[in-house]
């Protein structure tokens, strides 16, 4: 009488191996998810800084009496006030002008703007250059503001 024995279920060793394989897979997935979330937050900060830099440059280009050669700076006001710490510094210089400038002559001015913010204890920055046409005033020429 030869009876065949059938096995039902898994052995304890098979269960331990399967559990170990699943644990390794879950840890790997969670590490990848954590890295992705960290990268997404970093990219969001860069996007926010780029948007704020563009907005600040537009403000500076519209400002009629920004001093030449003198750095101007201030704090950035984040759009959502979500703990964004940063600031900006800008400088206006003549970029192109006629050989013998006279009052009323058109010149091309360059505005350099650097926006900075803190990320993970490190200072990050984003730089923009903007150009606009301006007309010389008598005091610009007499006061030596063209250098």
120 within some domain: yes
6 band by pLDDT with thresholds 50, 70 and 90: low
7 within some domain: no
Residue appearing with tokens 């269960």: 15
5 within some domain: no
Predicted TM-score of the model (pTM) = 0.66
Could you tell me the residue range of the domain that residue 24 belongs to? Answer: 12-142
CATH number of residue 137's parent domain: 3.30.1300.30
How much is the pLDDT for 143? 60
Number of structural domains the chain divides into:
1
2 within some domain: no
Question: Do 109 and 131 form a contact (C-beta atoms < 8 A)?
Answer: yes
Mark 60-76 as b/e (b = at least 16 C-beta within 10 Å).
beeeeebeeeeeeeeeb
Render pLDDT for 26-76 as a digit per residue (tens, 0 to 9): 999 999 888 888 888 778 878 887 888 899 999 999 998 888 889 999 987
116 within some domain: yes
4 within some domain: no
Render pLDDT for 83-131 as a digit per residue (tens, 0 to 9): 667 889 999 998 988 888 888 889 999 999 999 888 778 888 889 999 9
């Amino acid at each position: 009488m030869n009876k065949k024995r059938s096995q039902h279920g898994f052995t304890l060793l098979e269960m331990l191996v399967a559990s170990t394989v699943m644990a390794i897979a879950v840890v790997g997935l969670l590490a990848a998810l954590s890295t992705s979330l960290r990268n997404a937050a970093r990219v969001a900060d860069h996007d926010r800084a780029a948007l704020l830099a563009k907005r600040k440059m537009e403000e500076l280009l519209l400002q009629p009496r920004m001093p030449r050669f003198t750095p101007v700076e201030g704090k950035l006001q984040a759009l959502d006030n979500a703990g964004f710490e940063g600031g900006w510094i800008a400088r206006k210089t003549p970029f192109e002008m006629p050989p013998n400038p006279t009052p009323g002559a058109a010149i091309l001015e360059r505005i350099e703007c650097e926006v900075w913010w803190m990320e993970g204890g490190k200072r990050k920055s984003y730089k923009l250059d903007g150009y606009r046409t301006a007309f010389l005033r008598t005091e610009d020429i007499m006061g030596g503001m063209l250098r």
